[in-house]
Amino acid sequence: MATEPLQGVRILDLTNVLAGPYCCYQLALMGAEVIKVERPGSGDLARVLGADPARNAAGMGISFLAQNAAKKSVTLNMKDDRGKALLKRLVKQADVLVENFRPGVMDRLGLGPEVLRAENPELIYCAISGFGQDGPRRKDPAYDQIVQGISGVMSITGAADTAPYRAGFPLADTAGGLTAAFAIAAALNARPRGAFLDISMTEAVVSAMGWVVSNYLIGGVTPGAHGNENMTSAPSGTFQTADNPINIAANRDEQWQALAAHLDRAELLEDPRYLTREDRKQNRDALRQDLEKTLRLRSAADWVAELNALGVPTGPVLSVPEVLEDPQIAGRGLICELDTGGEAVKLAGSPVLIDGERPKPQSPPPELGADAQEIWQGLGLSAQEIQELQQGGIL
């Protein structure tokens, strides 16, 4: 199928919580068979995380539901020699293994990349960590909030009097997961296959900061927190209207001129403070105040419609419920429904359209160990062997 370019690829997902599960979810949406290998008894920590205590108690927390549809689940005690042997057998049938333990954990278990790639030389082994597999911070614990601070993101988020501020969603986990998914997809294309991928969440975020980093490296400008202002141009930022705020990005001279003309503020075009882009950047606060004198007279919806029609990029500032109900998002089918034991749960599908079709999960997030019989029998284990291993706490 066009929406399953990774059909036939088997991925072992040994990850927990967000960066790794998000990576593997994106790959599952593209058609890969993803087997989630979890700890017996408890599984992924995300199973008990989320805003619904009842779901948490049932081991199907909202945080888990969001990233684990279209996967299979088995449990395995990798500290036991029998569990290690079973993982090696799984590896022989896999194309990719993804883990997000602290660096060195898999090596201490005797299941590091060299050991597992000896079992399957074509294995793509992807290790996601906060800081990478070497360096002075390699063994430090790394949650999203920690990485946001260390990567510099918090220092440039908020305004001068409020920074440092964290981004309002797990930016580092998401960037790390996307980076890992991209690297895995690229490695799957290589011939012969086989690679060790070292993914640092911090480096993924620093790379994504793009111009902010380059302005310092090349221009010598130390980045700061500038609130809702785009420091590359003006007027470019958030402006108050009669009801709700809007974003305007008049980054080109002709857009600035069209904006001033439509607001019937032609005098601003002759103001020496606003003659050039650099002038407007230096006097952006005064410019915002001047423009808001007119913008505050009418609604956000009016300005968005009129300015966009003139080619002046303008958009509303929406809440999460508002954006999910917005015709642009709702109309393109990003959100889909899955039946999870009689209950319809809404989840995000792939952010990609392939030939006009959006990849969506074809099965709900799995109960812990739900696919044990299928997976272990596929390795040649008998029903009695599976039962004995379950009784012994291995499965």
Asked if 280 and 274 count as a contact pair (C-beta separation under 8 A), the reply is yes
Determine the 3-state secondary structure of 333 from DSSP.
coil
- The strand pairing partners of 248, in sequence order, are 237, 314
Strands lying side by side in the sheet with 236-240: 236-240, 245-249, 314-316
Q: 21 preceded by cis ω (within 30°)?
A: no
Among the options 13, 44, 144, 173, which is catalytic?
A: 173
Strands lying side by side in the sheet with 33-38: 71-75, 33-38, 10-13, 96-99, 124-129, 195-200
The enclosing H or E element of 50 equals: none
Asked if 74 and 395 count as a contact pair (C-beta separation under 8 A), the reply is yes
Q: Is 81 a catalytic residue?
A: no
Asked if 53 and 32 count as a contact pair (C-beta separation under 8 A), the reply is no
Helices (H), 170-299: 171-188, 201-208, 211-217, 253-262, 267-270, 277-282, 284-295
Query: Smallest Cα–Cα separation from 125: which of 90, 83, 82, 91?
Result: 91
Whole-angstrom distance, CA of residue 67 vs CA of residue 181: 13
Q: 5 preceded by cis ω (within 30°)?
A: no
Q: What are phi and psi of 120, to 5 degrees?
A: -145, 95
Query: Smallest Cα–Cα separation from 250: which of 53, 265, 220, 75?
Result: 265
Whole-angstrom distance, CA of residue 126 vs CA of residue 354: 25
| Catalytic sites, residue numbers | 173
